[in-house]
A and B are shown apart, each in its own frame.
Chain A
């Protein structure tokens, strides 16, 4: 099944954090405990699943070369793909604002623990990266793009929850004082990145 292939591929082989190193800022800052990390992972996955189909429809009917043909024959040669970056960012920023308002109303504890990192999802490279990859790879249908979005989001979620779990456990280890906090996080992320390179050549 093509879609199942794409789903597994975008979780492990094309992992947003370890294969493409996107979304590192929130990833390194929010991974102090597992509950907050899980909350942020769910938020990023939700943002991806909401914005990538919208961006796909925008791309297909407005931006691609020849996409504006539904307006009339005179518009068949118009190529607006250079506007992709700005329009994708606009869609992502407005969707982030909506999600932030929803989270503030329905889960205020999560809102307070995430702090500034919830609106920062708008500039999280993983979401814009997902949209640009979607534009570049030219998926066959909106459903395929949604599967890709869900897979990328779950890959990011697994990465951040894994790092949060490791960081919680190493609170009991004897780390040199100079490495505590950010230093050991960088080294752990580097090691996890090397581990994920083992997935690199797999063709499903």
Chain B
């Protein structure tokens, strides 16, 4: 459940610049050339985001690492 919220947080923030459908990235970012990363909304990115979460989690708890 918490993993779902974290993954959705990153995907929505990077993918459409909104959080809970409320625009959080200010307009001056868009004017300077920042664009929403449409890739994050696609399903495979959820898998890659979960891989990154596993990376962060296992770096902090060394005893979860394999071998």
Contact = CB atoms under 8 A, between A and B. Distances in A.
Interface residues of A, number: 21
A178 interface: yes
B44 A179 contact: no
Nearest to B59: A178
Contacts of A189: 44, 47
Interface stretch (B9-17, B18-26, B27-35, B49-57): B49-57
Contacts, number: 58
A186 B67 contact: no
Mostly helix, strand, loop or mixed at chain B's interface?
A: helix
Interface string A176-197: 1111111111110111111001
Contacts of A186: 47-48, 50-51, 54
A179 B56 CA distance: 9
Please classify how large the interface on chain B is, using the bins under 10, 10 to 19, 20 to 34, 35 or more: 20 to 34
28 contacts: A18-B44, A176-B59, A177-B58, A177-B65, A178-B54, A178-B57, A178-B58, A180-B65, A180-B67, A182-B54, A183-B55, A183-B58, A186-B47, A186-B48, A186-B54, A187-B47, A187-B48, A187-B52, A190-B44, A190-B45, A190-B47, A190-B48, A190-B51, A191-B44, A191-B48, A193-B47, A194-B39, A197-B44
